[in-house]
Structure 1
């Protein structure tokens, strides 16, 4: 009887909160109610795959290993000291999810553990190949785009599913998609669409697009161009930002920037918003409050779209944030959240299917009936055409949530979540069954 009561508590329904902070209206999605999540997260609910049976708890003990691979990267220092990355970026979120999985797993004779590999891509391929041979079939990948493709190709045909949490490049979901990769991190297309919907909803449709000189900046700018056409925005002018900004740490460096940015922005056509495409966050933060005429800044600085926000309090987010902070002594960043979701996907599949058989779990995760609760107010699931996780996107300032997209009024024939990113009719991905 005690066991049945515990399992009942572990499957309490997720409290569904508003889709938007401003009007407290839930997302207009046709997705089914969220699937069960750990009791510690207060996120459980029955999904279309059915509730967990108490009779299954008598089965033999099952162990599930999740492998986190993190590429060693050489990065420029961020513009702000507040943005210095933690050494356990992403890994911290996976650790919290392992705890959550084990909370439910205790009732089901299931144990979850996390393995971590750091190194360059060749070292990670070697280590991951050995781990997969030993039974680590679920891999969270924090890799740069080309490294992710090389990693996925090296593991092609092996019993492994790779969860991308490290790269938002849209091409990884489209022309360069891989059948063994699922994408937890939202694509640039999803983030651009989420921001574009909000700007159009606010009736700020005229945008001045500023983009950086690097190839990834130009790809991000393409996402904003696509979003403008998709939702009725208008890019009235484009400018490429090539000017060096000097040493941000040197005395007087801010004075140099204070002169550069207004000069760069002089003579622009009339616009409502300055939209900055800076994929590496190398210059975007120079623009707020330094434009020639007073205009809000959005995109890579100012008003930003992301998978998570450290001030989110909706849908049980407060206790979720507090649990993360107690475990890691810092705030949760988007990559931590993405890694948490990836690890919870494994836990959800194991809970529902009561097996460690890779083929069964992988097939279920890829199926239309799979859902995972993710502190977003609605069930999240994977798109069948490119492996991208469909989810609401947070639009916020550095300190606060501003809104959540999809916005009201943007409709879709099956799920409004699919208004964000590349929809099935326009996908270029050939690796997934159409």
Structure 2
């Protein structure tokens, strides 16, 4: 008994010593890793994150802040990055006023933050991008859909992970044409974001041949003096149409439109059938595993906004692993964007297509889902809608459209 106990004791001591050596060596190895700083920048008073909006869980709206998705992607990328001598440091910054963004960007650059993830409204993205123009910093637009960021306000070191508004309206227009639902009644507000949304819808209608039979402004509320603008039955009673398209960037009005219209017609746009770039009900291409990992960490379902944050880190990790140089001293925006813009650079976003960036405006090529609450109804590009170079480019502004031509004939 004594000998057996002594033997176990010796074995345990040897195991402990081996573990200690392994721990020390791993700590030394970790300390030798090249660190790349990722800064997630948020706006404290962002109206998209109001408590009542988040609690309502409107379709195609953010259901929570994006830090969880960023942290998940860093965790998933850590092993491959460490094997190549790289580690990521995440810092989260929140500004109380958008006007403070230029100062924050300059301070982050001085601290050595190479990658800035922008969870900001369009105005904030533009301010941040202007402050970082020409710098050794890569910015990622995670949550601003506005077309002008990919058009007249595009920038060489600003990458757009989420689709443009035009890509979403193109996807819906394709689906309506494929179903032969060509006569469209449009309900829209007079708010500036919805006016821009309406412009995208009109461009998509012209591109694919939809007939917008009437454009009717609505008002959110129940004031009886405005009943012809806030009463859904009155708004939809007179015209003849195949489908009602609700233009609503917040989702607050749109949520009540299905089953409130006079005629038995489908509702699309901001409610009913909604174009979204991610949906937790997508059951193919590894998406269930991505969703499961996110739900475990966030305690809620993954949205398109979360997917954008998750994929931005994947872009960073893959670009750093693919580039020929290693080490922060050799890091440059030019070399990194060259890697991202090469034909060999492909991303797996769990959406069924290899994803990469359009060289003329830095927009991520990607399919768009047509969703309805707890189901994915379809995926655009819809079968039959083809493009001579890349079928994903049938969504949104093509190479010969728009006012952004960063590199129309080659890589980023």
TM range (shorter): 0.7 to 0.9
Structure 1 position 66 matched with structure 2 position 42: no
Matches within 5 A, 1:301-340: 301-340=271-310
Aligned to 1:106: 82
- Asked whether the 8 Å contact 1:368–1:384 carries over to 2, the reply is no
Question: 3-state SS of the aligned residue for 2:41?
Answer: strand
Matches within 5 A, 1:132-151: 132-151=109-128
Superposed displacement of residue 112, structure 1: 1.6
CA deviations over 1:26-58 (Å, ceiling 9, x no partner): xxxxxxxxxxxxxxxxxxxxxxxxxxxxxxx9x
Aligned to 1:185: 162
Matches within 5 A, 1:280-359: 280-353=250-323, 355=326, 356=328, 357-359=331-333
- Asked whether the 8 Å contact 1:79–1:285 carries over to 2, the reply is no
Matches within 5 A, 1:33-432: 61-75=33-47, 78=52, 81-83=55-57, 89-119=65-95, 120-241=97-218, 243-246=219-222, 260-268=231-239, 270-353=240-323, 355=326, 356=328, 357-359=331-333, 360-432=335-407
> Distance between the aligned counterparts of 1:132 and 1:432, measured in 2?
26
Cα RMSD of the aligned pairs, angstroms, is 2.6
- Asked whether the 8 Å contact 1:61–1:109 carries over to 2, the reply is yes
| Higher mean displacement: 363-372 or 342-351 | 363-372
CA deviations over 1:182-202 (Å, ceiling 9, x no partner): 111111100001111111111
Superposed displacement of residue 106, structure 1: 3.0
Structure 1 residues 74 and 164: alpha-carbon distance in aligned structure 2, compared to 1, 3 A threshold:
closer
Structure 1 residues 240 and 389: alpha-carbon distance in aligned structure 2, compared to 1, 3 A threshold:
same
- Asked whether the 8 Å contact 1:406–1:416 carries over to 2, the reply is yes
> Distance between the aligned counterparts of 2:190 and 2:62, measured in 1?
27
CA deviations over 1:9-40 (Å, ceiling 9, x no partner): xxxxxxxxxxxxxxxxxxxxxxxxxxxxxxxx
Question: 3-state SS of the aligned residue for 2:233?
Answer: helix
Aligned to 2:12: none
Superposed displacement of residue 62, structure 1: 2.0
Question: 3-state SS of the aligned residue for 2:387?
Answer: coil
> Distance between the aligned counterparts of 2:220 and 2:387, measured in 1?
43
Structure 1 residues 396 and 369: alpha-carbon distance in aligned structure 2, compared to 1, 3 A threshold:
same
- Asked whether the 8 Å contact 1:93–1:336 carries over to 2, the reply is yes
CA deviations over 1:200-237 (Å, ceiling 9, x no partner): 11121221111111111111111111111211222122
> Distance between the aligned counterparts of 1:144 and 1:80, measured in 2?
16
Structure 1 residues 226 and 337: alpha-carbon distance in aligned structure 2, compared to 1, 3 A threshold:
same
Q: Counting helix residues as a fraction of each chain, which structure ranks higher?
A: 2
Instruction: Give structure 1 stretches of 5+ with no counterpart.
Output: 1-56, 248-252
* Higher Rg of the two aligned structures: 2
Superposed displacement of residue 431, structure 1: 4.8
- With the length of structure 2 as denominator, give the TM-score of the two structures: 0.83
| Higher mean displacement: 368-377 or 415-424 | 368-377
> Distance between the aligned counterparts of 1:86 and 1:302, measured in 2?
17
Question: 3-state SS of the aligned residue for 1:382?
Answer: coil
> Distance between the aligned counterparts of 2:54 and 2:35, measured in 1?
42
Structure 1 residues 203 and 366: alpha-carbon distance in aligned structure 2, compared to 1, 3 A threshold:
same
- With the length of structure 1 as denominator, give the TM-score of the two structures: 0.79
- Asked whether the 8 Å contact 1:68–1:91 carries over to 2, the reply is yes
